[in-house]
Amino acid sequence: MRLPLQWKVLAGYLVVAGVGLGIAGWLALEVFETRDLKHIEAGLIAESRLAAELFAAPLGRAQPDLREIDMLADRLGEAVKARVTVIASDGKVLGDSYESGDALLRMENHLSRPEVRDALTAGIGLSIRLSSTVGIRMLNAAVPVRSPVPESRVLGVVRLALPLTQIEEQHGALRNALALALALAFILSFVLSFLIARSVTRPLAEMAEAAKRMLGGMFHPRIRPQSNDEVSDLGHALNQMAASIEDKIESLKEDRAKMAATLIAMQEGVMVLAHDGTLRLLNPAMERMIGRHGAELTDRSYWEVIRQPRLNEFIAQALAGGNGAATEIGLGPAPVRTFQVYASSLAEGRDSGAGVVLVFHDITDLRRLEQVRKDFVANVSHELRTPLTAIKGYVEALRDDPKVDLQQRQRFLEIIETHADRLNLIITDLLLLSKIESGQIPMKQEPVELAPLFDRTLALLSHHIHRKQHKIVLNVSRLQGRLLGDEERLGQVFFNLLDNAIKYTPDQGTITIGAAEKEATIEITIEDTGIGIPPKDLPRIFERFYRVDKARSRELGGTGLGLAIVKHLVEAHRGTVLVESSGKGSRFMIAFPIALDTDPAASSTTRNAG
């Protein structure tokens, strides 16, 4: 059972006060009663002695007069308010203040009474006992009655008896008074000890209350110590503790917020695992990587979430104490992404049972770029080697065979020139690409009118258009300077796209050019009715040297760099280029952001060429 401290302190005080007061009362009562009894005894003895002197004469007569003796006993009894009994030496009762007449004569022999015997043998007798005559407890004092000196013969015994009820009544009153005094003292000590106990326990209860509040994270209001003692010291100490905990919580919160912000901002996926492999934390990047929400995974084991045997093995090793380990792993549904995974122990050298933090760094783009670079080097070498081999072959043929006729020599030299031109074209395109990429070509920001620009570009290609009898549909809105850019470079973009459209569209096809404002962009489309691009090649045709059909491209004089240049130039204008093809025909779409400081106006021109 839980007993409040106040009641414990109170009970302690009360036990001490009760026992102390009880002992003191008992001792006082003992002393009072004993002294009182002694006093009464002494008085009774003295009165007995006096009575013995008075009875000496009547008893000393040769024939004692029993009536006289009894009357004297009655008178004396009346005077001293006690029973007076006169007994002869042989024990016969001669007079008694309580009895007279026949009753007196019938009284039994009193020699058996202890006080009478003591009076005869020792000169004085005292006893407290139940009187057989009157049936109550009496204090008896007996002394011998002697004949006058010198004879001093024992004539009998006179006994004075006081009913004890009288004494007990007096003692009862004394006890009652004492009990009342003790009860008052006890009540007073109860009240006092209650107040004292409360003055000690109340501040303690307040502190316990404050401590509970602090446990729940409420550090205010603080404790206000009232007194100047150990209890108030405790209050001050608790206040200091609260302030220090509050500070620590604040700084922990700050650290936590910083950590959360860092984790949110990180591009790398972060996964924290407890020592038993249960998930403790996933940052948003990690959630995106595994396509699940952290909250639904917390406290699940990592192998329930990650189903990649190699990664699971790596995590198991990290949990077993492999600190600072790193590995490269492909994850996710197709297209698989490549991650560099770092594991580091949370133990910081304490023990290996604290769990691990795993950082997933997405290196797919890095690996892809590496691959692109390798492919590029291989492609460049290959592209350069083909015309060089041809040039070398024809030069050797000319050198080794001086008898080659003039016409054949002319044809060889033309082939050499074509391949040299091709080499030149490739190198020019490569240099251009590399310059665009490294930002060496400054892009002007001037209003570009699309209709005249397309006219000029189509004029450059008119020879091919006529040869293949293509129909050109020009559907270009007048954008009145809404497009800002570098006219020469944009001309190159359109030239490359139109050149491709002409190249990959059979005779009598249609090439449609469109340009219009669409929401916040200017969208330009170049569409043909040509051979189209297979869907599998669509994502790659903007890569350098990528061609759907290498032989055909080369035959048509392509370098495989045209679309790569288009993409880079468009992006340098903060635009985007997309391609669509559905088996027959291709559609290239370029979108440029609108120059906002110009007014919109539109007019449309449609023209046929062919």
Interface pick for ligand ADP out of 560, 567, 569, 591 (rule CB under 6 A) = 560
Site for ligand ADP, residues 481 to 520, rule: CB under 6 A: 496, 500-501, 504
**For ligand ADP, which stretch binds (CB under 6 A), given 177-185, 448-456, 482-490, 544-552?**
544-552
CA 524, CA 532: separation in Å to the nearest integer? 19
- Nearest to ligand ADP of 72, 569 (CB atom): 569
Residue 541 makes contact with ligand ADP by CB under 6 A: yes
Residue 318 makes contact with ligand ADP by CB under 6 A: no
- Shortest reach from residue 498's CB to ligand ADP, in Å: 9
- Shortest reach from residue 301's CB to ligand ADP, in Å: 49
Residue 529 makes contact with ligand ADP by CB under 6 A: no
- Nearest to ligand ADP of 73, 531 (CB atom): 531
Closest by Cα among 267, 266, 265, 260 to 281: 260
**For ligand ADP, which stretch binds (CB under 6 A), given 180-188, 319-327, 442-450, 531-539?**
531-539
**For ligand ADP, which stretch binds (CB under 6 A), given 67-75, 254-262, 405-413, 558-566?**
558-566
**For ligand ADP, which stretch binds (CB under 6 A), given 196-204, 363-371, 473-481, 553-561?**
553-561
Interface pick for ligand ADP out of 528, 529, 573, 591 (rule CB under 6 A) = 528
- Shortest reach from residue 443's CB to ligand ADP, in Å: 21
Tokens of 56: 């000496």
- Shortest reach from residue 368's CB to ligand ADP, in Å: 19
- Nearest to ligand ADP of 44, 502 (CB atom): 502
**For ligand ADP, which stretch binds (CB under 6 A), given 177-185, 192-200, 279-287, 545-553?**
545-553
- Shortest reach from residue 551's CB to ligand ADP, in Å: 10
Q: Is residue 136 within 8 Å of 130, Cβ to Cβ? A: yes
Which strand ranges, in their side-by-side order, compose the sheet holding 137-146? Answer: 93-96, 83-88, 154-163, 137-146, 125-130
Interface pick for ligand ADP out of 533, 569, 572, 590 (rule CB under 6 A) = 533
DSSP alpha helices (H): ranges in 266-363?
Answer: 284-290, 302-305, 309-319
**Alpha carbon separation from 447 to 178, 481, 490 (Å, rounded):** 121, 4, 12
Q: What is the enclosing helix (H) or strand (E) of 87? A: strand 83-88
Residue type, 577: V
- DSSP secondary structure string for all residues of 93-141: EEEESS--HHHHHHPPP-TTSHHHHHHHHHS-EEEEEE-TTT-SEEEEE
Q: From the CB of residue 161, how many other CB atoms can be counted at a distance below 10 Å?
A: 29
Tokens of 375: 């492919």
**Alpha carbon separation from 56 to 88, 156, 462, 476 (Å, rounded):** 11, 9, 183, 170
- Shortest reach from residue 446's CB to ligand ADP, in Å: 26
- Nearest to ligand ADP of 358, 563 (CB atom): 563
Residue 547 makes contact with ligand ADP by CB under 6 A: yes
Which phi and psi (to 5°) does residue 64 adopt? -60, 140
Residue 48 makes contact with ligand ADP by CB under 6 A: no
Q: From the CB of residue 184, how many other CB atoms can be counted at a distance below 10 Å?
A: 11
Residue 479 makes contact with ligand ADP by CB under 6 A: no
- Nearest to ligand ADP of 225, 562 (CB atom): 562
Interface pick for ligand ADP out of 530, 575, 592, 594 (rule CB under 6 A) = 530
Residue 531 makes contact with ligand ADP by CB under 6 A: yes
Query: What is the four-CA torsion angle of 408, 409, 412, 414, rounded to 10 degrees?
Result: -110
For 69, counting Cβ atoms within 10 Å of its Cβ (0-12 exposed, 13-18 middle, 19+ buried), the class is buried
Q: Is residue 227 within 8 Å of 200, Cβ to Cβ? A: no
Q: What is the enclosing helix (H) or strand (E) of 280? A: strand 279-282
Interface pick for ligand ADP out of 6, 48, 477, 586 (rule CB under 6 A) = 586
**For ligand ADP, which stretch binds (CB under 6 A), given 197-205, 281-289, 320-328, 541-549?**
541-549
CA 569, CA 442: separation in Å to the nearest integer? 11
Question: Which residue is at the shortest CB distance from ligand ADP?
Answer: 558
Residue 553 makes contact with ligand ADP by CB under 6 A: yes
Contact footprint for ligand ADP (CB under 6 A): 496, 500-501, 504, 528, 530-533, 541, 546-549, 553, 558-564, 586
